[in-house]
Amino acid sequence: MVASTPVSSPARTTGITAGFVGAVGNTPLIRLNALSELTGCEILGKAEFMNPGGSVKDRAALGILMEAEEQGLLKPGGTVVEGTAGNTGIGLTHLCNARGYKALIVIPDTQSAEKIGLLRSLGAEVRTVPAVPYRDPNNYVRLSGRIAEETPGAVWANQFDNLANRRAHYNSTGPEIWQQTGGRVDAWVAATGTGGTYAGVALYLKEQNPAVRCVLADPHGSSLYSWATDGSLVSEGSSITEGIGNSRVTANLEGAPVDDAVRIPDQDALETIYGLLWQEGLFLGGSVGINVAAALETARRMGPGHTIVTVLCDSGDRYRSRLYDDAWLASKGLRQPVRAA
**Domains 10-50+168-331 and 57-156 fall in the same CATH topology:** yes
pLDDT value for 58: 98
| Burial state string for 271-292 with b = 16 or more CB within 10 A and e = fewer than 16 | ebbbbbbeebebbbbbbbbbbb
Q: Which helix (H) or strand (E) holds 289?
A: helix 286-302
Q: Are 39 and 300 in contact (CB under 8 A)?
A: yes
Residues 122 and 90: beta-carbon distance below 8 Å: yes
How far apart are alpha carbons 241 and 288 in whole angstroms? Answer: 10
Candidates 31, 67, 30; CA nearest to 50 is 30
Digits of tens for pLDDT over the chain (341 positions)? 434 444 444 445 568 898 999 999 999 999 999 999 999 999 999 999 999 999 999 999 999 999 999 999 999 999 999 999 889 999 999 999 999 999 999 999 999 899 999 999 999 999 999 999 888 999 999 999 999 999 999 999 999 999 999 999 999 999 999 999 999 999 999 999 999 999 999 999 999 999 999 999 999 999 999 999 999 999 999 999 998 999 999 999 999 999 999 999 999 999 999 999 999 999 999 999 999 999 999 999 999 999 999 999 999 999 999 999 999 999 999 999 999 87
Q: What is the pLDDT of residue 340?
A: 86
Determine which one of 46, 57, 102, 206 is catalytic.
57
Domain 10-50+168-331, CATH class in plain words: alpha beta
DSSP letters, 170-209, are IIIIHHHHHHHTTT--SEEEEE-SSSHHHHHHHHHHHHH-
What is the predicted pLDDT for the residue at 4?
Answer: 43
DSSP label of 269:
H
Which among 320, 307, 82 is positioned nearest to 212, based on CA atoms? Answer: 307
The reply to whether 46 belongs to the active site is no
In DSSP terms, 55 is beta-bridged to 314
Radius of gyration of the chain (CA): 19
Query: Is residue 311 helix, strand or coil?
Result: strand
Longest dimension (CA), the chain: 59
Q: What are the domain boundaries of the chain? A: 10-50+168-331, 57-156
What's the pLDDT at 341? 78
Give φ, ψ of 177 to 5 degrees: -60, -45
Residue 14: its pLDDT value, please?
A: 65
Q: Given the DSSP bridges, would you call strands 102-108 and 187-191 parallel, antiparallel or unpaired?
A: unpaired
pLDDT of residue 13: 56
The class that CATH gives domain 57-156 is alpha beta
pLDDT score at 231: 95
Is 0.85 surpassed by the pTM of this model? Answer: yes
Q: Residue 318: its pLDDT value, please?
A: 94
Please state, in angstroms and rounded to a whole number, the distance separating the CA atoms of residues 148 and 145.
5
Whether 13 contacts 248, CB under 8 Å: no
For residue 36, which amino acid is it? S
